[in-house]
Amino acid sequence: MCGVFGAFSASGNPVLEEVYLGLYALQHRGQESAGVAWIDGENQIRTIKGQGLVHLALNQAELSGIPASSAIGHVRYSTAGGSGLSNVQPLAANYCRGPVAIAHNGNISNASGVRRYLENRGAIFQSTTDTEVILHLMAHQPHKTELDALVDSLRKLKGAFSLAVALKDRLVAARDPWGFRPLALGKRDDVYYISSESCALDLVGAEMIRELDPGEILVIDTDGLHSLRIPVEPRRRYLCSFEFVYFARPDSLIAGQSVYQVRKELGRRLARRSPCSGNCATGMPDSGTIAAMGYAEESGLAYEKAIVRNRYSGRTFIEPTQRVRELGVRKKLNPIRELIKGQSLAVVDDSIVRGTTSRKMVELLRNYGASEIHMRISSPPVRFPCYYGIDTPTREELAAARSNEEALCAEIGADSLAYLTETDLVEAIGLPACEVCTACFSGSYMEDGEKYEELDI
């Protein structure tokens, strides 16, 4: 996870407040920290970063008064490295060719190998993030311009990266050759924007022009847009299916598809495949709600918003520790007793990752008098870790990896449990199956066997 946002004004208008707003719209992609970076008139890189939500980490009024016409920003959810302050992005450096700052969404799967290679040649790392290898790779090519060094550095990386990069007089966006994570380009007047999701473009009043192609490097300067390619063998797209299931906001477009409509279709397909005898369907807020509406519509069940989410609480999946996640479930969700008592419920959730939320919710619903609870999951069982930017590092943590469906149903205390199939997921997304990553469901990481090995460069 994580979200990146960038803005560049060709006529020199200040953009930092808009970067703040963009991050605000991307808050769902990371709540641990937020930061912005820009290059000042003295050619020095500047950053403001803090921990917590965007409005706590950054001061909108302060940012609006800074005359930066090009800037990047980041909201963080740690997938590589811890959540300490040194890992808060954008990561920035003034190296021999000039200032550079990087905001990264994804997970560089060969970062450990690259880091070892660089440390053996004298590099001293300041953080434990995978992103920092990009800065060092650039610094190890002092004979090249910043842009050439960046392009060559990206060629050496494996895994997932959607990047916003601030260079002197330029904003650069880049997407890994598989296109795991989304990255969109927008424009309003003379300002170009790059954003992890199109919903943030809406907030700043920008029109979405297009998404970056997998493997594309887009350079934005006062002359306009220049598109380059990461110099590797062309690869097919391998877009993360979980963006549609859970991560992305429903008001975003990814690969030309409305996340909302895909999510609703997941619910419809789930109803066709796994109907249940309940008399009411409800969704686990927020990301199960839309699929629940689709489930109810298709199955003819009444739809009730029977579980209320405290809108001021965060997303449980992206809390970094199990203890906080456990507390998070209770803090954020509460069923409406009057809608639950005596009811046989179809409860639709987007996924079962660790099983914590489902178990707690089933317990709560029973306490509130539900007669039957049929859990319906709008994605296939998550049985494998993700190495492309999602924090599921071990199989032991994944409920569906340690238990089969029947055992997991008993573990969470439900009367029945059913999942969507991988075929239904891919068909609902509407892309060819070979262009959609479903590795956390299937365990098939890459067609060519390239997984997550730590490769030397």
| Shortest separation between residue 444's beta carbon and ligand SF4, angstroms | 10
Q: Decide: is 317 part of the binding site for ligand SF4 (CB under 6 A).
A: no
Number of residues that bind ligand SF4 (CB under 6 A): 11
Decide if 2 is catalytic.
Answer: yes
Binding characters for ligand SF4, 412-441, by CB under 6 A (x = yes): -------------------------xxxx-
| Shortest separation between residue 435's beta carbon and ligand SF4, angstroms | 12
Q: Decide: is 452 part of the binding site for ligand SF4 (CB under 6 A).
A: no
223 appears as a binding residue in the annotation: no
Measured in whole angstroms, how far is the alpha carbon of residue 145 from the centre of its chain?
Answer: 31
Peptide bond into 234 cis (omega under 30): no
Binding characters for ligand SF4, 174-203, by CB under 6 A (x = yes): ------x-----------------------
* Whole-angstrom distance, CA of residue 272 vs CA of residue 256: 25
| Shortest separation between residue 110's beta carbon and ligand SF4, angstroms | 16
First vs last C-alpha separation in the chain: 25
Helices then strands (H, E): number in the chain?
Answer: 17, 24
391 appears as a binding residue in the annotation: no
| Long-range contacts of residues 46-50, Cβ cutoff 8 Å, at least 24 apart | 47/90, 47/92, 47/101, 49/85, 49/88, 49/89, 49/90, 50/88
Peptide bond into 456 cis (omega under 30): no
* Whole-angstrom distance, CA of residue 20 vs CA of residue 71: 10
349 appears as a binding residue in the annotation: yes
Beta bridge partners of 42: none
350 appears as a binding residue in the annotation: yes
Residue 321 or 444: the one with the smaller Cβ distance to ligand SF4 is: 444
Interface pick for ligand SF4 out of 20, 242, 303, 419 (rule CB under 6 A): 242
* Whole-angstrom distance, CA of residue 434 vs CA of residue 241: 12
The DSSP H or E segment spanning 361 is helix 356-367
| Shortest separation between residue 216's beta carbon and ligand SF4, angstroms | 18
240 appears as a binding residue in the annotation: yes
* Whole-angstrom distance, CA of residue 79 vs CA of residue 440: 15
Binding characters for ligand SF4, 372-411, by CB under 6 A (x = yes): --------------x-x-x---------------------
Query: What is the length of the chain?
Result: 457
Residue 38 or 387: the one with the smaller Cβ distance to ligand SF4 is: 387
Interface pick for ligand SF4 out of 109, 127, 241, 316 (rule CB under 6 A): 241
Q: At what angle do helices 132-139 and 111-119 cross, to 10 degrees?
A: 40
| Shortest separation between residue 69's beta carbon and ligand SF4, angstroms | 34
* Whole-angstrom distance, CA of residue 212 vs CA of residue 433: 20
280 appears as a binding residue in the annotation: no
Residue 364 or 390: the one with the smaller Cβ distance to ligand SF4 is: 390
199 appears as a binding residue in the annotation: no
The residues that touch ligand SF4, with contacts defined as CB under 6 A, are 180, 240-242, 386, 388, 390, 437-440
Q: Which residues are catalytic?
A: 2
Binding-site residues for [4Fe-4S] cluster sit at 240, 386, 437, 440
